[in-house]
Structure 1
């Protein structure tokens, strides 16, 4: 008997439902993007080092370790409520960062926000992938574009509120996330449950063993991309304020980076459905580090140009990787996606600490150059990765 997942594979792209999920992702990531804009304030107020600032990002990403567990449960149970509640939880915790009394209170709020992020990023993309039919790349582009819009608006929104209303006014921003959760409830309750029944689930261990080389290759690619993406996304405001820029300009620069990423995320996933995942990955991994090096060594208008190019290429990698990994596990999307996202977030949580340490020892400019070099090293891995390693289902 044909299972529910395969029925979905034959279905058309469900634009309205994928869009509803993506809007929730957009609102959620708007709040998650507050942290880089807050970091220069925290470093100044609490006399923190770059490494301690990077550790705050690690607190936010550490809960992602539980994503495979959430994904495994989501393949069997309806966990839409996690997606519904996520914007509200993120809104409350991240908006309170402007009134926190100390470092460990910040860490606690970031961990709570991190648990909501773990749930959303394990369940949301899997549902979006199922609703995308045979256009998984397009579905991942919708999902990633929404997240990039949120990450673009978040820093600009919070620094603008701080500039005009003061640091203590940031809790006012939580109202939008609370409203988003209410809207998501009315939207997502109409989406049918696509969980696979227990007796039709594939045995994931043999499938995972069969594609182990592919999983390791994707993890290596993700590691190199994370050095550049985490470094620039987390430390760009600190880097620019250290060079004399205002907090507002530093936040606006991060918004410019993410706006370029919106275009990259939209184009890459859709194109990868047509021309393949590998050509787009190779192009992005070549362009991103070159643009970063040129960004470091230029100034003025040219620096903005290279920031745009870097954002477009750097962020275009993620929709392609997400489509590729879901394509490899068509019968257990949530488990596969949760495992992949857990690896992604854990890698990034460690990397931001390493980059913060390098910034303290070598300066952030040199730390960025090291990140660019690491990304280029990954090209041979991309070229040697199998193009279409589908894991065949093994029915219990």
Structure 2
């Protein structure tokens, strides 16, 4: 019976889905992956304070994440297939420009341009993954989202691999990354255009699903708290270890381990989310994050490596679930739901990271890491109040 169930849960357009996942890798490598890791280089190049470095992350996340629901709301009404290749190209061009600007203001402007490209990409590409999913929504989102999270993980590796040697001027090469992503997405534009039309016709014939706004608000709060934890650790881990006289190259390797484990957690959690309760998987993810958030600042040596891997795995093992969960709560606005789950809530992490920069300036980076344990505790408690899938499906049947 279990095997029969698994056979029924099949992804539809696999080739297109893998293209979307690969482009997601390229896009997120150039935004949430590399921008936090670049903060020490930007700080040195422009003689910035921790707060000013945090503002760079704030601008990036507002443009790339907080604006996603706006783009998602617009494209729910007016989807545009050409947004896919254009968005990744814009992301790459904006990032490459940061290597050649000569002032902090122009740096922020270039970061904003790159972020806008990413903000356009995510709701549209997530809709594409939804259309390619067939009846395996969790598995499809796992393939799509793991590309982005793996891009986040690889981003910090760009620093020790070549940017430490080239300096910020080496960022010019990322224009080619953007071009590569655009060409990849151009190949699936005909399929995406046809799928959008089929979805429009199907929506006209089917009855409208009902929203669960209170559940969506609660889910957004949980994802925001998770994001504050995840992005905060990724952004300030290099600073934390630099203060312990550990080289930037080693600190970025630690960041890679944390983010790479998150990518694995994203895939495994999403792969099995079609068979496990979304609510309790989310609860378990947040609950199991707590001990590793507490242990991290008090660990050293090989224990640090183990703790970072487990911390990263558990904190993002619910990433796919929350996207699918949000789409269930807002069934007729897939772009908006995706923008809220991937964008607004994640973008709030960037805002939190800016505040953490202010705390670091006044109380030290080590103090910030002692605060990270509080966030998953609150998220764990909040997840208990979310509606179950049965309740959501029952509401839809009543509608």
TM-score, L = length of structure 1: 0.89
Tell me the matched-pair count: 384
CA distance in 1, matches of 2:22, 2:267: 14
Show the counterpart of 2:41: 41
State the Cα deviation string for residues 36-70 of structure 1 (Å, max 9, x = none): 22111222333322222111111012234443332
Aligned to 2:134, the other structure's residue is in SS state coil
Q: Is the 8 A contact 1:158 1:170 kept in 2?
A: no
Task: Please list every run of 5 or more consecutive structure 2 residues that lacks an aligned counterpart in the other structure.
Answer: 1-7
Superposition RMSD in Å: 2.5
CA distance in 1, matches of 2:48, 2:206: 48
CA distance in 2, matches of 1:259, 1:277: 23
User: CA 1:343 to 1:165, structure 2 compared with 1: closer, same or farther past 3 Å?
Assistant: closer
TM-score, L = length of structure 2: 0.88
Q: Is the 8 A contact 1:232 1:368 kept in 2?
A: yes
Q: Is the 8 A contact 1:24 1:83 kept in 2?
A: no
CA distance in 1, matches of 2:238, 2:367: 16
CA distance in 1, matches of 2:398, 2:71: 21
Matches within 5 A, 1:198-213: 200=204, 207-208=210-211, 211-213=212-214
Q: Is the 8 A contact 1:24 1:180 kept in 2?
A: yes
Question: How far off its partner does 1:10 sit?
Answer: 9.8
Q: Is the 8 A contact 2:37 2:156 kept in 1?
A: yes
Task: Please list every run of 5 or more consecutive structure 1 residues that lacks an aligned counterpart in the other structure.
Answer: 1-8
Aligned to 1:128, the other structure's residue is in SS state helix
User: CA 1:75 to 1:39, structure 2 compared with 1: closer, same or farther past 3 Å?
Assistant: same
CA distance in 2, matches of 1:125, 1:254: 26
Matches within 5 A, 1:85-100: 85-100=86-101
Q: Is the 8 A contact 1:65 1:346 kept in 2?
A: yes
Matches within 5 A, 1:372-387: 372-387=373-388
Q: Is the 8 A contact 2:163 2:171 kept in 1?
A: yes
Matches within 5 A, 1:33-182: 33-63=33-63, 64-182=65-183
Show the counterpart of 2:330: 329
CA distance in 2, matches of 1:130, 1:190: 10
Matches within 5 A, 1:24-39: 24-32=23-31, 33-39=33-39
Q: Is the 8 A contact 1:325 1:336 kept in 2?
A: yes
Show the counterpart of 2:19: 20
Q: Is the 8 A contact 1:295 1:306 kept in 2?
A: yes
CA distance in 2, matches of 1:82, 1:288: 36
CA distance in 2, matches of 1:69, 1:44: 34
Q: Is the 8 A contact 1:51 1:356 kept in 2?
A: yes
Question: How far off its partner does 1:71 sit?
Answer: 1.9
CA distance in 1, matches of 2:325, 2:248: 38
